[in-house]
């Protein structure tokens, strides 16, 4: 329970209509897209100004109340599962695009701006904000920065962190800290923005975000290559990269996922194919033409049964609609879905695809694999029923086996979904104890009372 006096102070700060204590409201903020037990906070607050956000952070610290910031709650690692009896701060009222600067190609946004809203606003001005998580229609830019979110275009354009030019965030006392610049280059002081990207709400609370924009590519071409052998598809991925072609998008889908997507969205996918590659090249029209021809011939060389090049925007959209619906399509098949994002060096994609099949067989569980093959970031997706205890034990063992394989291949536990609660117990496997200790020292220096999203990342 929050003390009455403090609740009143919260009401004064954010307005009584933006303080939520009803059970039904609190339930809404008790979980996110990770498969974890929900935890009820004591209160949820919805500040509508930066000043109110800053004061809420200060009040939480002064009253030793754990605080979890929440954008859209779509993260897949438990980053917004609050602490019991803690405070959830929802950023969806801080949703203004404050500036789009065409001459210097940057945008300044509040943290609650929805990713796709910024992408559309800058596209209307011939500019491009490339990071495109599959959740972009609802995810927020604050959540994207805090998770260092990736997406389908990571191979060519990188991830959210590559676009963060500057930040204004509140430290644990509610003090505004400014880092970075609106210039292309900035070597002034510590790179605090680098520290804050991917910090999952554990080190500070973003209030304003400055994001780099680039010119919108003049042309693009989407292709769908169909393979009768899974191995051929994964080897084609490695061959395209080795040939120094950098598609904007290079996505993989196995047969299990193809069938689920076709049943869900009826876009005409070949349900008998062992695997598909969905590829898009973009840039100057002449370069697009040349890259598309090279991709087609590499797909044929490495055994594609057929390859279809989209002839217009409608066909292109249907390729990407198919890919974007993969998670929802798989989610319909079983009560529980666990989407992993262990990532390997790109040349190891064939080994990782083989390993997923072996793990699925070894543990007797269903795994659909799809994802950003071009940047080594596949999404093995486990379908199960969490209520089945016996199966759940096998699932947990399979997850650990996936992580172990990724590390053995020189990869990482998470390419884009973050550590949160879900992966924090595995972190040391990748980093070793010294890195954990160092991270704990950073955390305790910046948040001595451990109120900013405790239990996340380093536990």
Footprint on this chain of ligand FAD (rule: CB under 6 A): 32-33, 68-76, 79-80, 91, 111, 133-135, 139-140, 142-144, 146-147, 149-151, 200-201, 205-206, 327, 416-417, 453
Residue with Cβ nearer ligand FAD (150 or 350): 150
- CA separation for the pair 126, 116 (Å, rounded): 15
Q: Which residues 6+ apart lie within 8 Å of 375 measured at CB?
A: 150, 154, 155, 250, 343, 346, 415
Instruction: Identify whether the C-beta of residue 438 lies closer than 8 Å to the C-beta of residue 47.
Output: no
Q: 134 or 217, CB closer to ligand FAD?
A: 134
Helices marked H in 21-63? 23-28, 50-62
Closest approach, Cβ 94 to ligand FAD, in A, equals: 8
Least distance from C-beta 125 to ligand FAD, angstroms? 24
Judged by beta carbon, residue 321 or residue 358, the one nearer ligand FAD is 321
Q: How far is the CB of 275 from ligand FAD (least distance, A)?
A: 19
Residue 399: phi and psi, rounded to 5, are -60, -45
Closest CB to ligand FAD among residues 82, 291? 82
DSSP 8-state class, residue 452: B
Residue, CB closest to ligand FAD: 143
Closer CB to ligand FAD, 134 or 307, in the complex: 134
Pair of tokens at residue 398: 């399979």
Least Å from the CB of residue 374 to ligand FAD: 13
Q: Is 171 helix (H, G, I), strand (E, B) or coil?
A: coil
Q: What are the residues whose beta carbons fall under 8 Å from the beta carbon of 197, sequence distance 6 or more? A: 145, 146, 148, 160, 161, 164
The residue among 263 and 286 lying less far from ligand FAD, judged by its C-beta, is: 263
Give DSSP secondary structure letters for 234-285: HHHHHHHHHTT---SEEEEEEHHHHHHHHHHH-S---TT-SEEEEEEEEESH
Cβ 222 to ligand FAD, closest distance in Å? 17
The torsion defined by the Cα of 361, 364, 368 and 372, in degrees rounded to 10, comes to -60
Q: What is the Cα–Cα distance from 308 to 234, expressed in whole angstroms?
A: 18
Distance CA(357)–CA(374), nearest Å, equals 19
Residue 430 C-beta: closest distance to ligand FAD, Å: 18
What are the φ/ψ torsions at residue 90 (nearest 5 degrees)?
A: -95, 135
Q: How far is the CB of 373 from ligand FAD (least distance, A)?
A: 13
- Output the smallest distance, CB 370 to ligand FAD, in A: 11
- CB nearer to ligand FAD: pick between 170 and 426: 170
In the numeric block, the tokens 């569980």 are attached to 365
| Choice between 149 and 307, CB closer to ligand FAD | 149
Cα–Cα distance between 81 and 454 in angstroms, integer? 10
Closer Cβ to ligand FAD, 70 or 405, answer by number: 70
The distance of closest approach from Cβ of residue 159 to ligand FAD in the complex, given in angstroms and rounded to an integer, is 7
């Amino acid at each position: 329970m929050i003390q009455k006096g403090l609740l009143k102070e919260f009401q004064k700060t954010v307005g009584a209509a933006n303080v939520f204590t009803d059970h039904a409201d609190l339930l809404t903020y008790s979980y996110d897209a990770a498969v974890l037990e929900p935890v009820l906070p004591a209160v949820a607050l919805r500040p509508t100004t930066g000043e109110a956000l800053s004061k809420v952070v200060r009040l939480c610290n002064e009253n030793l109340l754990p605080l979890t910031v929440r954008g859209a709650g779509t993260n897949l690692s438990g980053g917004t599962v609050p602490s019991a009896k803690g405070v959830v701060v929802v950023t969806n009222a801080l949703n203004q695009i404050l500036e789009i600067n065409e001459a210097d190609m940057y945008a300044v946004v509040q943290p609650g701006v929805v990713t796709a809203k910024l992408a559309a606003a800058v596209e209307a001005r011939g500019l491009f904000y490339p990071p495109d998580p599959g959740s972009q229609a609802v995810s927020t830019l604050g959540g994207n920065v805090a998770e260092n979110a990736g997406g389908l275009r990571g191979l060519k354009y990188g991830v959210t962190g590559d676009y963060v030019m500057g930040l204004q965030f509140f430290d644990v006392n509610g003090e505004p800290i400014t880092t970075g610049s609106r210039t292309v280059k900035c070597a002034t002081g510590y790179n605090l923005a680098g520290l804050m990207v991917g910090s999952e709400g554990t080190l500070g609370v973003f209030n304003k975000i400055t994001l780099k924009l680039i010119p919108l590519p003049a042309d693009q071409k989407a292709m769908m290559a169909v393979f009768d052998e899974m191995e051929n598809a994964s080897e084609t991925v490695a061959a395209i990269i080795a040939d120094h072609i950098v598609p904007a998008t290079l996505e993989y889908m196995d047969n299990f996922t193809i069938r689920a997507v076709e049943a869900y969205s009826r876009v005409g996918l070949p349900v008998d194919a062992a695997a598909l590659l969905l590829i898009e090249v973009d840039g100057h029209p002449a370069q697009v033409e040349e890259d598309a021809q090279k991709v087609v011939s590499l797909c044929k060389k490495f055994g594609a049964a057929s390859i279809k090049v989209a002839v217009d925007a409608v066909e292109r959209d249907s390729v990407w609609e198919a890919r974007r619906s993969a998670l929802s399509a798989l989610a319909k098949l079983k009560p529980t879905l666990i989407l992993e994002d262990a990532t390997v060096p790109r040349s190891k994609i064939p080994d990782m695809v083989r390993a997923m099949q072996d793990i699925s067989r070894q543990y007797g569980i269903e795994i659909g694999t799809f994802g950003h093959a071009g940047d080594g970031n596949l999404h093995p997706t486990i379908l199960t029923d969490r209520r089945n205890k016996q199966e759940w034990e096998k699932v947990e063992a399979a997850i650990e086996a996936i992580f172990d394989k990724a590390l053995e291949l020189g990869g990482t536990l998470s390419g884009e979904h973050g550590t949160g609660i879900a992966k924090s117990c595995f972190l040391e496997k990748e980093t070793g104890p010294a890195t954990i200790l160092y991270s704990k020292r950073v955390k305790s220096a910046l948040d001595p009372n451990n109120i900013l999203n405790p239990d996340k990342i380093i536990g």
